[in-house]
Amino acid sequence: EAGVTQSPTHLIKTRGQQATLRCSPISGHTSVYWYQQALGLGLQFLLWYDEGEERNRGNFPPRFSGRQFPNYSSELNVNALELEDSALYLCASIMTGWSYNSPLHFGNGTRLTVT
């Protein structure tokens, strides 16, 4: 079974540009979570998509947005990049209507560097 895949592995952008990060969930998983992991910090919840809809978002500005496609893959867009957006962005998937004992499955992340 293929795991959660994220692309690209690394992304270098300059301040003010836009970044697009992609995620393919595990087959059969319809729910995707995005997290930001800045250097030395824990995981900060960004967005939750389920069956094509945005269901919840964390405490991030609107320039962080995304979508989920009919095949349940997902895209995270970050507009007007700022230096502090430099971080590892992690995608995780789980089945819709997951039960109390279901874990999140993570990809290896996209390392975004803003210069």
Local structure of residue 97 (DSSP, 8 states): T
Nearest residue (CB) to another protein, 60 versus 98: 98
Min CB(80)–another protein separation in Å: 26
- Residues of this chain that interact with another protein (CB under 8 A) are 4, 6, 31, 33, 41-43, 45, 48, 50, 55-56, 90, 92, 98-109
Min CB(70)–another protein separation in Å: 21
Nearest residue (CB) to another protein, 40 versus 62: 40
Nearest C-alpha neighbor of 78 from the set 20, 8, 13, 9: 20
Residue 52: count other Cβ atoms within 10 Å of its Cβ: 13
d(CA 95, CA 6): 18
Min CB(68)–another protein separation in Å: 14
Min CB(8)–another protein separation in Å: 14
Segment holding 65, helix H or strand E: strand 64-68
Structure tokens at 37: 């992991």
How many residues can be counted in the chain?
115
Whether the bond between 25 and the residue before it is cis, its omega within 30 degrees of 0, is no
Nearest residue (CB) to another protein, 57 versus 79: 57
Nearest residue (CB) to another protein, 27 versus 96: 96
